[in-house]
Amino acid sequence: SFCTLLEMASVARHCSGLPSKAKALRGMLKSDKLEFLMEAHNGISAKIVEEAGFKAIWGSGLSLSAQLGVRDNNEASWTQCAEVWEFMSNATSIPMLVDADTGYGNFNNARMLVRKLEQIGVAGACIEDKLFPKTNSLLDERGAQPLADVVEFANKITAMKDTQTDENFCVVARIESFIAGWPLEEALKRADAYSAAGADALLVHSKKSNPSDIEAFMAAWDKSKCPVVIVPTNYPTTPVACFQEIGVSSVIWANHNIRASIAAMQATTKKIYEEQSLVEASKNIATVKEVFRLQNQKEYLDAEDKYLPKQ
Task: Clarify whether 200 is annotated catalytic.
Answer: no
CB atoms within 10 A of CB 46: 27
Buried b (16+ CB within 10 A) or exposed e, 63-78: bbbbbeeeebebebeb
Active-site annotation holder among 72, 101, 166, 200: 72
CA nearest neighbour of 284 among 293, 298, 271, 296: 271
Phi/psi of residue 231, nearest 5 degrees: -130, 95
CA distances from 53 to 16, 45, 149 (A): 21, 13, 39
Asked if 207 contacts 231 with a C-beta cutoff of 8 angstroms, the reply is no
Asked if 204 contacts 243 with a C-beta cutoff of 8 angstroms, the reply is no
Phi/psi of residue 251, nearest 5 degrees: -115, 135
Active site residues: 72
